[in-house]
Structure 1
Amino acid sequence: MCSTDLSAQTSVADSLRTVLKAHPGKADEIGTAFFNLAAQHLSSDAKKALTYADEILLFQRNIKNQHLLSAAYRVKGIIHLNLSQFPEALSSLHKALEIDEKLKADFGMIGDLNTIGLVYMSQSKYPEALRYYLLALAKAEKINRELDVASTKANIGIVYTEMGDYEQAMQHYERSLTIFRNNNHYSGQTNTLTNIGIVYYKKKNIPEAIRYSRLALALADSVRDIRSQGRENGNLSAYYNELGQHDLALEHGLRAIAINKEIGSTKSLGLNEQNVSAAYLKKGNLKLAREHGLDALKIGMALNATDIKKEASLGLSEVYEALSKPDSALHYYKMFTVFSDSISNDNNRREVTRMGLKYEFDKTEAVYKQKQLLADEQLRQQQLELALSASQFQQGEQLRRLQEVQLQNEKLLNEEKQKQLIIAQNNEKIQAGKVNALSQQQQLDRLELKQLWLYGILALVVLFSVLVFLLNLYRLRRLKYKNEIQLQESEQNALKLKHQHQLSESELKAIRSQMNPHFIFNVLNSIESYIMDNDKKTASRLIQKFAALSRLILENSTKSLVTADKEWKALLLYTELEDIRYSNSFTYIFNVDEQLQLKTLFLPPMLIQPLIENAILHGLMTGGREHGHLSVSLKKTDTGVCITVKDNGAGFENTVNPARISGIKEKSMGLASIEDRIAMINKQYPGGKARFTIGRGEAGKGTTAEIHLPFFEGQSVLN
């Protein structure tokens, strides 16, 4: 964060304190503002976040909203946990739990219980951690909070992982990961992928551990989760140490140390120090291995973190053995044995198993009690219904008797009304005779007047119909003339667009026709070099792969767009050819975004291949570089897709022309051809969404090239 931001936030905090002094009644609003500041700094500056949380507790007596007060204690506990201040974290979290229990706030209690479990787990106190996790899980399932269920199950999975029950751990992780993915919860996905990677690591399946760890790191990078970035770099350091790739282990370990020092994550820093110590030991730098190992043990002792003390003690034992100091080596190995027993003794295992079984029993018993209560309630309801039915029957009898009396009264009233009706009818007949004569004359007068109105209306209708007919005839002629003009204009525009598309397509074919011979020339040179060296087996493999690659190129050569799975296969074949050609002197990896379906995605053929060629020839194969690595990725973006080609070679501006070394072609047409094709794509698909960039890689190492393309429609695949 820049100094301007810090000064601005300090000014905001000062303003809030001033407002509080002048208006104590606004304590809830000011407390909410301080809480938002604490949450904003939670992952980036834990100590700053702690000061904002403490600000709320300074005037807690004026706060009416107790939910805000419990949230302040809870976030303070999380900050202490991130700073590895475990006693302070437990104190704040228990205060938050006490308030939430009084408020009967299930949501708050779930967060309190889960975080208390995290504190105990960070101290390797797994039975205590599991006890609080199970309490949180029961409440989350009771109120059907799906994300809280997922988070709690993931935490329980960690306990089972540490206790060696990997099957139970994976069941919890897979359930959590499904819920997180359904709810697009990226932080939860990151943590669960990390935990699955740790299970594979403990099961000695290191490639799978690295795969899940890299998936987690990619998610952390996408949402800029600094804490997860530090954690995953530390995990990758341990995994690469296990594979014997100590340079990569050292690179990720030092990166993790820098991140965790920045955010103040002391426990993670202790684990990182031990990974770096192991890498230095394998590389023979015993001095640095001892220094980092002692730092790791010091952090473990300060935090009373048994897992760190165990790993650091074992590492120091190996370092002192390499230094030919058997007394020190034995001393630290004895410490390792003590710490190992404290984590994985049978009492802990039995306690974890007992608590898991008790939770399932309590859950089953609660369901049985609920069913019993429901049955009792139904019985009471039936009894009430019977009593109500009896009461309703008595009321019905009384109502029936009342209706009989009313019916007798109504019968007498009807007889009286009949007599009065007969008298009224006779009077009406007398009056009707008088009125009848008068009404007949009036009807004759009205009939004559209606005939006059009818003739007038008929004349007006005829006149109006003639006018409407003439007006519609005029409008039809105008519409016909206008449609003819629009039809002519649309035909002219369609003809113009067709000519323009044919011109663009012709230019694009010309560019592709330059690229295909250029690529074939390089591969044939490679095959020739192996034949000249009398390496028939390698030359035969090259020819077989080149034949498969040529077939793909011939299939795609008449198309402006091809399905991404065919193009991706062609790129893999080309990279394998170059890898064989240079005697497996570099490593490579191809990654595809899980959101993309290669069979339904379309890409321009032979557009990406020149970037891979340049990365190998002008980056990895120059200057005798070791540990060369090539990375090709295909990711979905907001406007389309992005293809990224990275290498850790000589760098974009420091490239030495390998043609002078290997005798291969001296003139490269790849980059110019790519720029020409990007320009043609933007002509065919207006909007300027396609672009090409190339420059230095991360930290100034190697080269990074990116091609951004729009989503192409399937009907435009064929020329």
Structure 2
Amino acid sequence: MKNYFIIYLLLFNLTFGAFSQKKKTDFKITVDNILTTKPNTYKKIDKLLKPFQRDSTKVKIIIERFQKENYKDGLAYEYIKLGNIYRKYSDYNKAIEVHKKALEISQDNKNDEFEIFSLNMLGVDYRRKNIYTSAINFNKKALEIAEKKKNPNSGILRSMEVSYNSIGNIYLLLEQYILAEKNFKKAIDIAEKSKNKWSVSINNENIAKVKEAQDSLDLAIEYTKRALAIDQSINNHYGRMICYNRLGKLHIKKGDYVIAEEYLKNAVPIAKSVKNKYYISLINNNLGWLYTKTKKTNKAQKHFEKSLKIAEKRNYKTALTEIYTNYSEFNELTGNYKEALNYQKKYTATANELLNDKTSKYVNDLIIKYDSERKSNQIKSLAKQNEIAALELSKNRNFIIISFIVLILLATVLYFVYRQISLNKEKKILTLEQDVLRSQMNPHFIFNALNSIKHYIVNNEQKNAVHYLNKFSKLIRKILESSTVKEVSLKEELNIIDLYMNIENIRFSNQINYTIKVEDDLDISTIKVPPLVLQPFLENALWHGLSSKKGDKTIQLSVFKLSKEYIQIDIEDNGIGRTASAKIKSNKVIHKKSIGIELTKERLNNFIKDFKNPFSLIFNDLVDENKNPLGTKVALRIPLQ
């Protein structure tokens, strides 16, 4: 029996060795043959060398052979493939370096097909790095060259698919969803004609992203399943991983947690096998979010930690916005409110960085104009925070000193002295904190306003752009003037809010009917309020009340004197109501915490500290006889003395 076993092992080793030797021989013969014929199109080269393109070692060996033989078309092909391998493993800097070599060789060799391929691959590389201006420039350049060809071959058609796909992805990041879907469908049309199932799958999955962004979850699932079916038919592991992850995320959003877990668990081994750090991070984030929803906190914590470690190390900004939001939700659920706030702040900072990246191509000149002001405010904010820290440190030190003196001298007298000192310092700290909040709000408000007029600049509508830029500049001047004072007249506040509503109404195609009604004989120029105190309530009315409403949309702001001690400001909209708005918000993937109202309450508290009477804030849900929502009314009472 033992002898049979030894013979079996010898036969196995001989067979395996022969098979390995045959593979090495096949590889060498293939490379020798292609150097004999030296084909100059992507399709012909790919037909021979495709079996070896997943192995970076073999690709590098082929590159050395082609360099010795000065086979430039083959070199361009291999550098494209090597760059794709680097990108697959999220090494985007190396991918760019290698794809630039491919571009240089193809341009030097005057091979349009490989030049188009190289430009498109560079576009994809820069998009993955969130450098959208460079990405769209490379993709548009590739498309310009390709569209000049009267009879494009299959390789150029494939490149046109990549161009439309990449441009669609950039429009998706810019939240131009109609343009994004249009480009993805163009890519699918070309891919179906050239029978490129892989590209059809990718672009179906991209349309699913568009539908998800538009909150059309069922359509998003349908398009993702189309992509998955194709990936399964062509045995595309990478594509299956992407689809499983997206389906898991979509089903979490729908509340189908069992189905979501099954899809995400299917994605995990594939992500590990292809060693894609970006998707390993995303999948772990979605698992963390799933276990947060199902209150399996230990599992959730482990997956969030894995996800954060990868994403922060590699600076995956797009992934980090999702991770920070979901991890903030997890910390809030587990009662760790300090960490929840910390990660919400990280989300805001990262989202603002991405917003700046996305809009830089279109509003760069405007942003530069206000960049020095933003930096100045940041420096002031840091200086004031340092002063706050110094005061708090001083207060703690005084406490120790006074506590020591209390033990030696008259305890009662020293206690009241210390208490007075502490109260004065706390009052100063509160004032400084309010200044910090205001200095941070100015640049935030500027970028929101810029984003509102972005589409006019994108669409090159010069008259509209100039009209609203004039209003915008006036609004900025008003905000900057009011940011230096702790109070403004109600008349000035209403002027600023009117400008704000004009800018925001752009995003509603000027469909909002906004009116201001002031009681007769009420002198609003003598009434003082904190600057921009009404803006958060109007923002809520717009984006939570009216954005999802069909038909006429109205907001009425009314000011009247309630008594000798109070004025009342009512903000009434005919939106969908708070209940429907909360339901829509709960269905969204990313839950943004609104802190505007809470900050406004704090500012009002500081404003009325020396007044006799307190302020009051009441939210009323407006309904008809059948309890159907008619909108929301906010009543703000402000004391006059």
Q: 1:140 aligns with which of 146, 151, 155?
A: 146
Tell me how far apart the structure 2 counterparts of residues 29 and 256 of structure 1 sit (CA, whole Å): 43
2:35 counterpart of 1:28: yes
Tell me how far apart the structure 2 counterparts of residues 3 and 193 of structure 1 sit (CA, whole Å): 46
AA aligned to 2:110 is K
Contact 1:25–1:62, Cα closer than 8 Å, also in 2: no
Tell me how far apart the structure 1 counterparts of residues 25 and 279 of structure 2 sit (CA, whole Å): 36
Map 1:289-308; keep pairs closer than 5 Å.
Answer: 289-308=300-319
Map 1:193-272; keep pairs closer than 5 Å.
Answer: 193-272=204-283
Q: Deviations over 1:347-378 (max 9, x none)?
A: 632516899999999xxxxxxxxxxxxxxxxx
2:83 counterpart of 1:83: no
AA aligned to 1:63 is E
SS in 2 for 1:284: coil
AA aligned to 1:111 is F
AA aligned to 2:238 is R
Quote the offset at 1:253 in angstroms.
1.0
Q: Deviations over 1:168-218 (max 9, x none)?
A: 111112222222223322111111110111100001110110011111111
Cα distance 1:171–1:229, how it changes in 2: closer, same or farther (>3 A)?
Answer: same
Q: Deviations over 1:626-658 (max 9, x none)?
A: xxxxxxxxxxxxxxxxxxxxxxxxxxxxxxxxx
AA aligned to 1:331 is N
Contact 2:100–2:118, Cα closer than 8 Å, also in 1: yes
Tell me how far apart the structure 2 counterparts of residues 62 and 357 of structure 1 sit (CA, whole Å): 54
Q: 1:287 aligns with which of 298, 301, 305?
A: 298
Map 1:698-709; keep pairs closer than 5 Å.
Answer: none
Quote the offset at 1:99 in angstroms.
0.4
Query: Which residue in 2 is equivalent to 1:169?
Result: 180
Query: Which residue in 1 is equivalent to 2:201?
Result: 190
Tell me how far apart the structure 2 counterparts of residues 169 and 124 of structure 1 sit (CA, whole Å): 17
Contact 1:38–1:50, Cα closer than 8 Å, also in 2: no
Tell me how far apart the structure 1 counterparts of residues 354 and 257 of structure 2 sit (CA, whole Å): 28
Q: Which structure 2 segments of 5+ residues have no match?
A: 1-11, 365-453, 461-641
Quote the offset at 1:110 in angstroms.
1.1
Cα distance 1:129–1:6, how it changes in 2: closer, same or farther (>3 A)?
Answer: farther
Residues matched between the structures, number: 351
**RMSD of Structure 2 on Structure 1 (CA):** 3.5
Tell me how far apart the structure 2 counterparts of residues 335 and 4 of structure 1 sit (CA, whole Å): 59
SS in 2 for 1:57: helix
Tell me how far apart the structure 1 counterparts of residues 289 and 227 of structure 2 sit (CA, whole Å): 23
AA aligned to 1:284 is K
SS in 1 for 2:320: helix
Could you tell me the TM-score, scaled by structure 2's length?
A: 0.50
Q: Which structure 1 segments of 5+ residues have no match?
A: 362-719
Contact 2:34–2:48, Cα closer than 8 Å, also in 1: no
SS in 2 for 1:199: helix
Query: Which residue in 2 is equivalent to 1:154?
Result: 165
Cα distance 1:9–1:122, how it changes in 2: closer, same or farther (>3 A)?
Answer: farther
2:129 counterpart of 1:123: yes
Q: 2:335 aligns with which of 308, 319, 324?
A: 324
Could you tell me the TM-score, scaled by structure 1's length?
A: 0.45
Q: 2:284 aligns with which of 250, 270, 273?
A: 273
Contact 1:27–1:63, Cα closer than 8 Å, also in 2: no
Tell me how far apart the structure 1 counterparts of residues 223 and 34 of structure 2 sit (CA, whole Å): 46
Cα distance 1:27–1:107, how it changes in 2: closer, same or farther (>3 A)?
Answer: closer
Contact 1:297–1:309, Cα closer than 8 Å, also in 2: yes
Contact 1:158–1:195, Cα closer than 8 Å, also in 2: yes
Contact 2:191–2:199, Cα closer than 8 Å, also in 1: yes
Q: 1:106 aligns with which of 112, 119, 144?
A: 112
Tell me how far apart the structure 1 counterparts of residues 308 and 213 of structure 2 sit (CA, whole Å): 22
Larger radius of gyration: 1
Tell me how far apart the structure 2 counterparts of residues 179 and 96 of structure 1 sit (CA, whole Å): 24
Map 1:342-421; keep pairs closer than 5 Å.
Answer: 342-345=353-356, 348-351=358-361
Quote the offset at 1:131 in angstroms.
1.3
Contact 1:120–1:128, Cα closer than 8 Å, also in 2: yes
SS in 1 for 2:116: helix
Tell me how far apart the structure 2 counterparts of residues 65 and 359 of structure 1 sit (CA, whole Å): 43
Query: Which residue in 1 is equivalent to 2:348?
Result: 337
Contact 1:226–1:259, Cα closer than 8 Å, also in 2: yes
Contact 2:192–2:200, Cα closer than 8 Å, also in 1: yes
Tell me how far apart the structure 1 counterparts of residues 227 and 304 of structure 2 sit (CA, whole Å): 27
AA aligned to 2:159 is D
AA aligned to 2:188 is L
What percent of counterpart residues are identical?
21
Q: Deviations over 1:668-715 (max 9, x none)?
A: xxxxxxxxxxxxxxxxxxxxxxxxxxxxxxxxxxxxxxxxxxxxxxxx
Query: Which residue in 2 is equivalent to 1:656?
Result: none
Map 1:599-678; keep pairs closer than 5 Å.
Answer: none
Q: 2:103 aligns with which of 80, 91, 97?
A: 97
SS in 2 for 1:140: helix
Contact 1:27–1:62, Cα closer than 8 Å, also in 2: no
Q: Deviations over 1:352-407 (max 9, x none)?
A: 6899999999xxxxxxxxxxxxxxxxxxxxxxxxxxxxxxxxxxxxxxxxxxxxxx
AA aligned to 1:128 is S
Quote the offset at 1:100 in angstroms.
0.4
AA aligned to 2:137 is R
Contact 2:291–2:300, Cα closer than 8 Å, also in 1: yes
